[in-house]
Copies of this chain bind each other. A is one copy, B any other.
């Protein structure tokens, strides 16, 4: 048995108000820790809000920035890990980043969004890999919103032996059915758990609908939030796979020799 407890930080976000969002992150870590969470998953770019203008460069931080330092201190204090979305600056480049902080406040690693949506391309440099983070509870991979709409991304992570896909989302009305379809498909077709935290409410410009979820590898939701602020802590057993896995064996039954002959595929 490999149980893990993940808190989905389904929160409002104040656009470009880093101080306020940081406070919510710190409070959420304390609250989730008291509710026995191992890790808290935050939405996409939660530290700054989903902002695509010149403020992005002002608000972005390096991996060792001031806000990150405070989040790491809080993680250590409450012995709870965190996956935090923020705009990362390194040299001249900006990345849409998910930083993985461990229970001792250490940096386990980070993921930089590989698939950039629309105007994001004007601001961010895309990530170039899908890292896997090995925890005592299982292997975790990450995605940020638009990434999950590409089946290739989840497939690559599954082939690298991921048990849980953590999705930092900023999905807006009226695309509820997109989020629902993609979270379920990625879990079922790859025999993995999918945990997604989406923002809620109006951030001045966009309405986010929440509906944060944990999807079991059998394609059913273990938990699905509504449209209000909540920080549910969900405990599930990573070693429990889809009972049909032995018959389906999606990874083993791929026909790569056929795919390889399709020039546009890769």
Chain A contacts to B: CB under 8 angstroms: 114-118, 126-130, 146, 149-152, 155-156, 159-160, 177-178, 181-182, 184-185, 188-189, 219-220, 247-248, 250, 253-262, 264-266
Contact = CB atoms under 8 A, between A and B. Distances in A.
Given A149-B189, A150-B250, A189-B150, A261 B129 contact: yes
19 contacts: A114-B255, A115-B253, A128-B257, A129-B258, A149-B189, A149-B248, A151-B189, A152-B254, A155-B265, A159-B265, A160-B262, A177-B219, A178-B188, A178-B219, A181-B188, A182-B185, A182-B189, A256-B266, A259-B266
Contacts of A130: 258, 262
A92 to B, nearest CB: 21
B181 A150 contact: no
Nearest to A256: B266
Contact of A265 (B156, B181, B189, B247): B156
Contacts of A127: 258
Sort A-B residue pairs by CB-CB distance and give the 6 closest, nearest first: A151-B151, A185-B185, A159-B264, A156-B262, A181-B184, A266-B266
A255 B188 contact: no
A118 to B, nearest CB: 5
Given A149-B189, A149-B250, A262 B184 contact: no
Given A151-B189, A160-B262, A181-B188, 7 more contacts: A115-B255, A128-B257, A150-B189, A152-B254, A182-B188, A256-B266, A260-B266
